[in-house]
Amino acid sequence: MSDSLFADASRRLERALKYVSLSEDTIERLKYPKSSLIVSIPVRMDDGSLRIFQGYRVRYDDTRGPTKGGVRYHPKVSLDEVQSLAFWMTFKCAVLNLPFGGAKGGITLNPKELSKLELERLSRGYVDAIADFIGPDVDIPAPDVYTNPMIMGWMMDQYNIIKRQLSPSVVTGKPVTIGGSLGRETATATGAFFVIQTLLPKFKRIPSETTVAVQGFGNAGAELAELLWKAGYKVVAVSDSQGGIYAKQGLDIPSIRRLKDANKGIKDIYCEGSVCSNIIEHEILTNEQLLALDVDLLIPAALENQITEANVNDIKAKFVFEVANGPIDSAADLILETRGIQVIPDILVNAGGVTVSYFEWVQNRCGLYWTLEEVNQRLQHKMVEETEAIWKKSEELSVCMRTAAYVYGLHRLGAAMNAKGTRDYYVNG
């Protein structure tokens, strides 16, 4: 079998199919994306030169509604990665019972090498190239790795220019001042926090006696680390792409966030200088060392394939909550399950982002905007309700949480596809 990310992602579906009765039509349709688009984006750089960037957008399945998914800017973006992310988003929307299908997009580049003006030209150029592929009732982009509300605002504005109309619901994750939803920027972390708070009591865990390590101190990882810290968890390690820090007695997460913003890197925070020396004793470690720490909760919140066959036996955590998409490959997943390590899957844990994106889309379409308290109450209800249902399914079938989540999503996808007619309907009446 191919070693592509998509082939690996599909193996999770194969395990779940043993526990659910689906029509042949449903199984066949879920094997392939509905449509994939590859575009070239010419950008005039600040020095006058012209660069061509490769962009992608994949709509995986729209049986349950228009497709939904983020756009990431990263050097490793490829069609295989985008297709895999769209596949996961299809199940994420089904698991949370959102009226969407799954999509994803991306551009292959290192965004840190571009000026803000170059990023704006790139973002508008991407929309120029995919404008006929997206729309409020077709496919709705959102932020992802290295994209943010400002970039979403540029994309919405460019779409409005092309279509000669105001269409705020064409993208989500926009600035609040131009139609974004309160709570969207922190939604992935907030949703993950609700999942953790729902599940850990089932294992008789209390926050003050629970240690946490967070790999990935970006938007989602940093916010979740602070939510856990405020709730009394002992966050002992955090890391970003450059490296991380560890303190057995626990870290002061709000201070780390402030200093990271000022220093642009975690491992630069704790130093011998006057700004850092009095905060806490610490150790500097690599991302690989963080993954191997003996903690209760390990939270991979960076990129795909962080835990593989090569390092899975180093994992000592008792629980892994996947805030990143696909941080554990399928081979490592089986080994963790055999070792009794509880893995809570990405298609549930990080679904807070797409859930509040759905809330934003609804608010844009009805013209009625909610308070932050209303958004978070609705998000909590959704995350807790679906987490409890998947936990119940896991207990009922005696399967891991990942398989239970896929089974749960497959029931909804299968029912939607059956409603359009299947072989059994046409042949057997």
Type of residue found at 128? D
Is 104 labeled as catalytic in the residue annotation? yes
**Secondary structure (H, E, C), the chain:** CCCCHHHHHHHHHHHHHHHCCCCHHHHHHCCCCCEEEEEEEEEECCCCCEEEEEEEEEEEECCCCCEEEEEEEECCCCHHHHHHHHHHHHHHHHHCCCCCEEEEEEEECCHHHCCHHHHHHHHHHHHHHHHHHCECCCEEEEECCCCCHHHHHHHHHHHHHHHCCCCHHHCCCCCHHHCCCCCCCCHHHHHHHHHHHHHHHHHCCCHHHCEEEEECCCHHHHHHHHHHHHCCCEEEEEEECCEEEECCCCCCHHHHHHHHHHHCCHHHCCCCCCCCCCCCCCEEECHHHHHCCCCCEEEECCCCCCECCCCHHHCCCCEEECCCCCCECHHHHHHHHHCCCEEECHHHHCCHHHHHHHHHHHHHHHCCCCCHHHHHHHHHHHHHHHHHHHHHHHHHHCCCHHHHHHHHHHHHHHHHHHCCCCHHHHHHC
**Annotated catalytic residue within 68, 104, 234, 393:** 104
Residues identified as active-site: 104
